[in-house]
Chains A and B, each alone.
Chain A
Amino acid sequence: MSTMTIDKAGPRRNVKYGSMSRDRAWALRWSYFFLVLFAIFSLTPPLYMLITSLKSSAEISAATNPWWVFHPTLDNYAELLTSNQFLRFFWNSAWVSIIVVTLTMLISVPAAFALARMKFWGSATLATGVFLTYLVPDSLLFIPLFKMFALIGDWTGVQLINRWYVLLFIYPTLTVPFCTWIMIGYFASIPKELDEAAIIDGASWFQTLTRIFIPVALPGLIAATIFAFTVSWAQFLYPLVFTTSTDQLVLPVGIITTLIKGDVFNWGQIMTGALLGAAPPLIIYAFLMDYYIAGLTAGATKG
């Protein structure tokens, strides 16, 4: 009798348990389905770029399968990497990005600290204001900014237009508000007791920032750095407007203006240039992601 009861109860329990895991299995299947779909969607363009960059101009214009390389060649890479012009674009981009990232961090980290922690009159409004400035599109700003720099040139004789370093003044208008906003969020998530403890321990505001907040909010700092770098590296409209001479161009504009001659598109080199241009952000992401993901605040307080 008793064995029969167990036999009866057994399958029933299994069914219930099985139905739960079946739900989970289906949820996982759907997740993977959409993840794969998303991966294909976002990886197809770079893959196409890679394929095209390995082809000669003749093969690109030939009516063959565009998804396959029949005669792979590294000529495009060799030509670009030995071209002084391309290397100049690359260095211009690198300098602009590195300096802009540094400037951005020097401005936005103390600004975010002040807005998040040093409660002063109007700090909350100012914090919202900072974010709102980020929402102003650059396509709206480039003409007034151009006029402004032209006027500065007229009045002071300091010519900034058509110099790569004019970008050092312009890019921070995009990066500083957003990075400040990100850092306000990160600093606000640090328990208030931590800076109170530091203040009682005898730290000044500056020491609290450098010795407590920056180390604790390092993941946020890295996120902001990555963002500022990506924005500076990939910016197109401003450099297109403000720089024209070939030796002053940055990479995205340089590729377009020098590799498209009239209606002749040098597709192989355009794709190669774009791929090489995408490499530095990728490398930076790869290196900094570990730090970014590591949650450094664990253990500060009870939670």
Chain B
Amino acid sequence: MADVSLRKVVKRYDDVEAVRGIDLDIADHEFIVLVGPSGCGKSTTLRMIAGLEDISDGDIMIGGDIVNDVPPKDRDIAMVFQNYALYPHMTVAENMSFGLRLKHYPKAEIKARVTEAARLLDITDLIDRKPKQLSGGQRQRVAMGRAIVRNPKVFLFDEPLSNLDAKLRVQMRIEIKKVHQKVRTTTVYVTHDQVEAMTLADRVVVMNKGKIEQIGTPNELYHKPATRFVAGFIGSPAMNFIPCRLEDVGGTLQIRLTDRLAFPLPPARAARYNALPRTDKLLLGLRPEHLTEWHAHLAPGVETFDTVLDVTEPMGMETLVYFGLEGTPVCGRVDPNAGAKDGAPMRLAMDLNNMHLLNEETGVVL
């Protein structure tokens, strides 16, 4: 087990910079998830940690040692691939023990480790089968088993659940979390699925265009996003961004969304935003769960307004409602019994205690 550090790591392919100088410290035992849209450099970063890609600049350290020029096999890492990459001509047991056999471990120890990993992953019955006789979920378990038996310093996962169907993905997500709780190996996990990132990670690293946008715990990223990209990427449905500006009306700070729609800010928010120039083009960032149905006893800072719904999506435990505010599409989450209907008017409540204010040009959350 070991910590992993990246110092100003750069990856260039000819003229294109895939990774543009990232710094990252991963503590021992930590479960880190790299998340971002495709092409953001997250897989490249993982492959550089694995040693499958050379780094163009910077340093990568595993357990305090710089490993820039250390070949993958000497980095003491194990990797789980998106398409499993099981050796098709070997049985499950042979697949799992391949690395140990190459290193000439004693047979008894190999057997003990394989048996233990198989027990941990609940694949003891499959040990003599070939990969083609296994289902997708079982293959993924074998791929994890192959990583576990090596007892490496670091686990690397490259979108391991992308090939599984939705139900199995949820199940395997829990399995991976359980396995990590048992073995406690430092883990770097790459995914484009923000739900996977939120549920698995101790800390999430949000990447965009080869740079790190923000590093934080899932809750920090959700509640205190640093940029518009993070605010929009984390959370489903995504955060609403509504053009707005600040104005002073009779000594109180107001946020004006449309000509007819303006709300006074709650005192805590007003104090925070008071220093901002009133001329700035701003965006109101509001998550759908903070746009709910109106009811009689609203807390302070929750404002009501009337709108006409475009579309409603009943999800069972909630209904998503979509409407427009001067051309900006907005999504809200209402109670399924609140009577939301396609094309019908509805009175909604906006919780400004949980609002974010963003600079429209820089995308920075203020």
Contacts and interface: CB of A to CB of B under 8 A. Distances in A.
A200 interface: yes
Contacts of B130: 299
B73 A199 contact: yes
B72 interface: yes
B35 to A, nearest CB: 21
Nearest to B162: A302
A280 interface: no
Interface residues on B, range: 20 to 34
B102 A302 contact: no
A197 B81 contact: yes
A299 B138 CA distance: 11
Nearest to B103: A202
A212 B150 CA distance: 19
Given A196-B81, A302-B163, A201 B50 contact: no
A107 to B, nearest CB: 24
B52 interface: yes
B81 A212 contact: no
Contacts of B139: 299, 302
B87 A300 contact: yes
B133 A200 contact: no
Given A202-B73, A203-B73, A299-B133, A196 B52 contact: yes
B84 A301 contact: yes
Given A298-B132, A302-B163, A199 B72 contact: yes
B73 A200 contact: yes
B88 A216 contact: yes
B117 to A, nearest CB: 14
Interface in A277-303: 296-303
Contacts of B89: 215-216, 296
A73 interface: no
A196 B85 contact: yes
Contacts of B134: 299
Contact of A200 (B72, B86, B103, B131): B72
Contact of A197 (B85, B132, B133): B85
Interface in B68-100: 71-73, 77-79, 81-89, 98-99
Contacts of A193: 81-85
Contacts of A215: 89
Nearest to A303: B83
Interface string B49-72: 011100000000000000000011
Given A207-B102, A299-B131, A299-B134, A200 B87 contact: no
A25 interface: no
A37 B286 CA distance: 74
Given A196-B52, A196-B81, A298-B132, A201 B88 contact: no
A302 B73 contact: no
A12 to B, nearest CB: 39
B114 to A, nearest CB: 14
B216 interface: no
Contacts of A198: 87, 98
Interface string B256-291: 000000000000000000000000000000000000
B336 interface: no
B136 interface: yes
Nearest to A199: B72
Interface string B153-169: 00000000001000000
B97 to A, nearest CB: 10
A299 B73 contact: no
B102 A201 contact: yes
Nearest to A300: B88
A124 interface: no
A133 to B, nearest CB: 30
A302 B72 CA distance: 24
25 contacts: A191-B83, A193-B84, A196-B79, A197-B81, A197-B146, A198-B87, A200-B51, A201-B102, A202-B73, A202-B99, A202-B103, A212-B87, A216-B88, A296-B88, A298-B88, A298-B132, A299-B88, A299-B131, A300-B85, A300-B88, A301-B83, A301-B84, A301-B85, A302-B136, A303-B83
Given A203-B98, A298-B132, 12 more contacts: A194-B85, A200-B50, A200-B77, A200-B79, A202-B99, A215-B89, A296-B88, A299-B134, A299-B139, A300-B86, A301-B84, A302-B83
Interface of B: 50-52, 71-73, 77-79, 81-89, 98-99, 102-103, 130-134, 136, 139, 146, 150, 163
Shortest beta-carbon contacts, A-B, top 3: A299-B132, A193-B85, A201-B99
